[in-house]
Amino acid sequence: MYFKNIFLHLGLITHHRWLVFKLCCRAGEPWRGFVHDLSKYSPTEFLESVKYYTGTHSPITEAKKEKGYSKAWLHHKGRNKHHAEYWVDNTAPDETPIIPYKYAVEMICDKLAAGMAYKKKDFTYEYELNYWMKEKEKIKINKKTEEFVTAVLSSVVKDGINKTINKKNMKKLYKKYCKDN
């Protein structure tokens, strides 16, 4: 059973990374798409995810349910700047600094691609926006970054991917929500 999951999980990672890459290319950040989630191939992340593979949702969620925590997630969030959790430091005066542009863009592409990879035919942009609206209440994230992500995902619902996920529009929205003043 686990043996089969090795290939299923490999396929899922590859498919997800391909979707992120295509979205990142649209957004003008191909390199972020190319190197996205590479730590998932490390033994710490790979083996746990194979063990808790479901195909319908993140194996990390599954590991947390069973063990109370996920080693793969702790490893992943500490190395991947496209996760809000990477940017949290409880002991710093600024606990949640603004996430730099390229990682914030990668984060949004990741969210959309994860929804697409797991929900398949049932995926909608509304689903992704609603998922984020609940998620943002649970995580620690810079207010400005949060507003940027909300604005982009709302725009995807309203105007679609083409009009929203492109370099010019993403830069414009980031400037609007994330520039200091």
The residue within the footprint of Zn ion, chosen from 23, 33, 37, 132 (CB under 5 A), is 37
Q: Which is nearer to Zn ion, 86 or 123 (CB)?
A: 86
In the bound complex, what is the minimum distance in angstroms from residue 167's beta carbon to Zn ion?
A: 22
* Distant-in-sequence contacts of 38-44, Cβ < 8 A, 24+ apart: 39/75, 39/76, 39/79, 39/80, 40/13, 40/76, 41/13, 42/75, 44/71, 44/72, 44/75
How many residues are present in the chain?
A: 181
In the bound complex, what is the minimum distance in angstroms from residue 114's beta carbon to Zn ion?
A: 9
53-61, 76-84, 92-100, 118-126 -> range binding Zn ion (CB under 5 A): 76-84
Size of interface with Zn ion, in residues (CB under 5 A): 2
Nearest to 29 by CA among 108, 111, 86: 108
80 counts as binding Zn ion under rule CB under 5 A: yes
In the bound complex, what is the minimum distance in angstroms from residue 134's beta carbon to Zn ion?
A: 19
Q: How far is 164 from 63, CA to CA, in rounded Å?
A: 34
Q: Which residues contact 80 (CB under 8 A, 6 or more apart)?
A: 37, 39, 86
6-14, 75-83, 101-109, 112-120 -> range binding Zn ion (CB under 5 A): 75-83
Q: How far is 178 from 158, CA to CA, in rounded Å?
A: 21
Q: Which is nearer to Zn ion, 29 or 37 (CB)?
A: 37
Q: Which is nearer to Zn ion, 80 or 145 (CB)?
A: 80
30-38, 67-75, 86-94, 123-131 -> range binding Zn ion (CB under 5 A): 30-38
Backbone angles phi, psi at 10, to 5 degrees: -60, -45
Q: Which is nearer to Zn ion, 37 or 62 (CB)?
A: 37
**Residue with the two structure tokens 């005066």:** 93
45 counts as binding Zn ion under rule CB under 5 A: no
What are the residue ranges of helices labelled H in the chain? 2-26, 30-34, 43-51, 59-67, 71-77, 101-119, 125-138, 143-164, 167-178
Site string for Zn ion, 98-137 (x = CB under 5 A): ----------------------------------------
Query: Which residues of the shown chain bind Zn ion in the complex (CB under 5 A)?
Result: 37, 80
